[in-house]
């Protein structure tokens, strides 16, 4: 759809969010809502996209760096029709259909926009997107015939009782050809209580001049706006519910779906099992036949087929679990590779490490990778056995088949097949503990008498 341009309105102050962050940059599933919208529109390959900014424009400019998007400034903010007009300069020379949408309505689908554009084919000059909410509240109403021809659009406060009884509501999204959009926007007036120029008056103006306006309907979830923290949370709930259903439909088992939270880019293979209370941050790829156990937090990690993690595992960015590897409870990985069949069953930190295949990392082992200034690497060879409560002080290399005795603090490289034991010789003093207890008991009794 190369003859499409998009104007995204994002100039509002977002005061109800009570935030220093621009409203449309608040994330849903880890991605700013504005980027949800832009990614949704991408399959339509718009020829141009203009984001109309106002308050905190610098935040939008920074966030949109690298996107094929132009920003335009609305200053002062005089209403949605006025905002759309600010994109005119950026769209100079464009001839085609123009969609006006909203940065805080992030979940509209590309197929819906395509239906909206296609509604212009049969001679309609303007197409608007309507929806039928479970509770129409104070939305503007669309009065339309059975064939979708709009006879009137009316704000709730101006509607009669009969018009308020209509459940077809206006989402605000609108499309028209550039030859019609600009004259209609120019004609919008501000003769209203707020003295502002409103986008729905584009459709009202078209009807007044005898043009045909049509309505296309979408599900209310698709056009739900986000204006407050509560509405942001509600959008997150809807997104997560849809993603959980998608995951299960594609072959993953979620034992308690409502307790699992995905990121916008989580990738799951088939026959993946996810236990309750698992959170995925951005950048996670999980292959087939993986088991993520309860209360695990995973971000920026790659997990290969047959691996298992948790319960209470934390995989941070750069963590790679290779085929059939395992991390258990209270194991943390960061920028570390756990080789094929290797395991770290509990209470372990692996940072800046490369663990060879079938190596065993004992409980309480840590890679000491940071000296306060720089990070250093630890390498553990294939089939090496690291005893419990060991400290591998990087940079250090442990050879294949080596054994590190429990409680060792290893500061030098260990050769393949070597046993390394780094701990003080045990000192035995017969009867010392008994004498200590007797002395302390006498002191305690004496202190009581003095008191």
Which CATH number covers residue 406? 2.160.10.10
Is 128 part of any domain?
yes
Task: Tell whether 42 and 58 lie within a shared domain.
Answer: yes
DSSP 375: B
Quick one: tokens of 410? 């290893």
Show which of 183, 205, 223 is a domain's final residue.
223
Query: Residue 161, SS3?
Result: helix
Is 425 part of any domain?
no
Task: Tell whether 48 and 72 lie within a shared domain.
Answer: yes
pTM above 0.85, yes or no: yes
Which contacts (CB < 8 Å, 24+ apart) does range 200-205 have? 200/128, 200/140, 200/153, 200/155, 200/170, 200/172, 200/174, 201/81, 202/81, 202/126, 202/174, 202/176, 203/126, 203/128, 203/150, 203/153, 203/174, 204/152, 204/153
Task: Tell whether 199 and 266 lie within a shared domain.
Answer: no
Is 139 part of any domain?
yes
Confirm if 40 and 32 have CB atoms less than 8 A apart: no
Residue 277 annotated among the catalytic residues of the structure: no
Show which of 223, 238, 257 is a domain's final residue.
223
Which pLDDT score is estimated for 423?
Answer: 86
DSSP 145: -
Which helix (DSSP H) or strand (DSSP E) does residue 58 occupy?
Answer: helix 57-63
pLDDT band at 156 (very low <50, low <70, confident <90, very high): confident
Confirm if 342 and 356 have CB atoms less than 8 A apart: yes
Task: Tell whether 312 and 237 lie within a shared domain.
Answer: yes
Task: Tell whether 389 and 240 lie within a shared domain.
Answer: yes
Is 124 part of any domain?
yes
Which helix (DSSP H) or strand (DSSP E) does residue 349 occupy?
Answer: strand 343-355
Summarised one tens digit per residue, pLDDT across range 3-35 is: 999 999 999 888 999 999 999 999 999 999 999
- Per annotation, catalytic residue among 22, 291, 297, 346: 346
pLDDT band at 218 (very low <50, low <70, confident <90, very high): very high
Task: Tell whether 355 and 401 lie within a shared domain.
Answer: yes
Quick one: tokens of 397? 């290399």
The whole-number average pLDDT for the span 38-59 is 95
Quick one: tokens of 144? 């339309």
Task: Tell whether 247 and 205 lie within a shared domain.
Answer: no
Summarised one tens digit per residue, pLDDT across range 239-278 is: 999 999 999 999 999 999 999 999 999 999 999 999 999 9
Residue 1 pLDDT greater than 60, yes or no: no
Quick one: tokens of 213? 């306006």
User: Of 73, 40, 38, which is closest to residue 54 (Cα–Cα)?
Assistant: 73
Task: Tell whether 235 and 219 lie within a shared domain.
Answer: no
Summarised one tens digit per residue, pLDDT across range 62-106 is: 999 999 999 999 999 999 999 999 999 999 999 999 999 999 999
Is 48 part of any domain?
yes
Summarised one tens digit per residue, pLDDT across range 292-316 is: 999 999 999 999 999 999 999 999 9
Task: Tell whether 356 and 215 lie within a shared domain.
Answer: no
Residue 148 pLDDT greater than 80, yes or no: yes
Task: Tell whether 206 and 249 lie within a shared domain.
Answer: no
Is 297 part of any domain?
yes
In sequence order, what E strands does 122-276 have? 126-131, 141-144, 150-154, 169-177, 213-218, 253-254, 267-268, 273-274
Q: Which CATH number do you get for residue 206? A: 3.90.550.10
pLDDT band at 137 (very low <50, low <70, confident <90, very high): confident
Range of the domain at 142: 4-223
Residue written as token pair 């003093």: 429
The whole-number average pLDDT for the span 323-346 is 98
Which pLDDT score is estimated for 339?
Answer: 98
Is 362 part of any domain?
yes
Averaged pLDDT of the chain = 95
The whole-number average pLDDT for the span 402-421 is 97
Residue 425 to residue 378: CA distance in whole angstroms: 26
Which pLDDT score is estimated for 2?
Answer: 58
Report angle CA 328, 309, 350 to the nearest 5 degrees: 65
User: Of 422, 425, 437, which is closest to residue 392 (Cα–Cα)?
Assistant: 422
The whole-number average pLDDT for the span 205-221 is 96
Number of structural domains in the chain: 2
Is 434 part of any domain?
no
Task: Tell whether 59 and 136 lie within a shared domain.
Answer: yes
User: Of 387, 408, 412, which is closest to residue 399 (Cα–Cα)?
Assistant: 412
Task: Tell whether 193 and 250 lie within a shared domain.
Answer: no
């Amino acid at each position: 759809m190369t003859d499409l341009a998009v104007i995204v309105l994002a100039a509002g102050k977002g005061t109800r969010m009570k935030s220093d962050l621009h409203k449309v940059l608040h994330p849903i599933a880890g991605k700013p809502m504005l980027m949800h919208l832009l990614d949704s529109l991408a399959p339509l390959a718009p020829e141009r996209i203009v984001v109309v900014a106002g308050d905190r424009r610098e935040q939008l400019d920074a966030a949109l760096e690298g996107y094929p998007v132009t920003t335009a400034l609305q200053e002062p903010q005089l209403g949605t029709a006025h905002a759309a007009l600010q994109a005119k300069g950026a769209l100079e020379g464009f001839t085609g259909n123009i969609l006006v949408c909203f940065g805080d309505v992030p979940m509209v689908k590309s197929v819906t926009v395509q239906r909206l554009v296609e509604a212009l084919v049969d001679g309609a000059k303007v197409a608007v997107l309507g929806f039928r909410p479970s509770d129409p509240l104070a939305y503007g109403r669309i009065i339309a015939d059975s064939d979708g021809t709009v006879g009137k659009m009316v704000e709730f406060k101006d509607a009669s009782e009969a018009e308020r009884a209509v459940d077809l509501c206006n989402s605000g999204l609108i499309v028209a050809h550039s030859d019609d959009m600009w004259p209609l926007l120019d004609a919008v007036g501000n003769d209203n209580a707020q003295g502002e120029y409103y986008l729905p008056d584009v459709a009202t103006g078209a009807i007044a001049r005898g043009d045909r306006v049509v309505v296309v309907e979408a599900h209310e979830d698709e056009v739900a706006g986000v204006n407050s923290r509560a509405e942001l949370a509600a959008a997150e709930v809807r997104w997560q519910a849809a993603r959980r259903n998608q995951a299960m439909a594609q072959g993953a088992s979620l034992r308690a779906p409502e307790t699992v939270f995905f990121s916008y880019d989580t990738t799951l293979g088939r026959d993946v099992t996810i236990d309750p209370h698992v959170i995925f941050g951005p950048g996670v790829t999980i292959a087939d036949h993986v088991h993520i156990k309860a209360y695990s937090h995973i971000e920026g990690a790659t997990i290969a087929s047959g691996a298992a993690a948790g319960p209470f595992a934390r995989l941070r960015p750069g963590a790679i679990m290779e085929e059939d590897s395992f991390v258990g409870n209270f194991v943390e990985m960061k920028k570390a590779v756990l080789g094929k069949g290797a395991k770290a069953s509990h209470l372990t930190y692996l940072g800046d490490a490369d663990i060879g295949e079938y190596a065993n990392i004992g409980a309480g082992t840590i890679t000491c990778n940071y000296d306060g200034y720089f990070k250093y690497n630890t390498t553990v060879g294939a089939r090496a056995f690291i005893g419990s409560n060991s400290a591998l002080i990087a940079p250090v290399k442990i050879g294949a088949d080596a054994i590190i005795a429990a409680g060792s603090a290893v500061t030098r490289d260990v050769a393949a097949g070597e046993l390394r034991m780094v701990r003080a010789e045990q000192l035995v003093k017969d009867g010392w503990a008994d004498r200590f207890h007797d002395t302390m008991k006498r002191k305690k009794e004496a202190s009581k008498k003095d008191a």
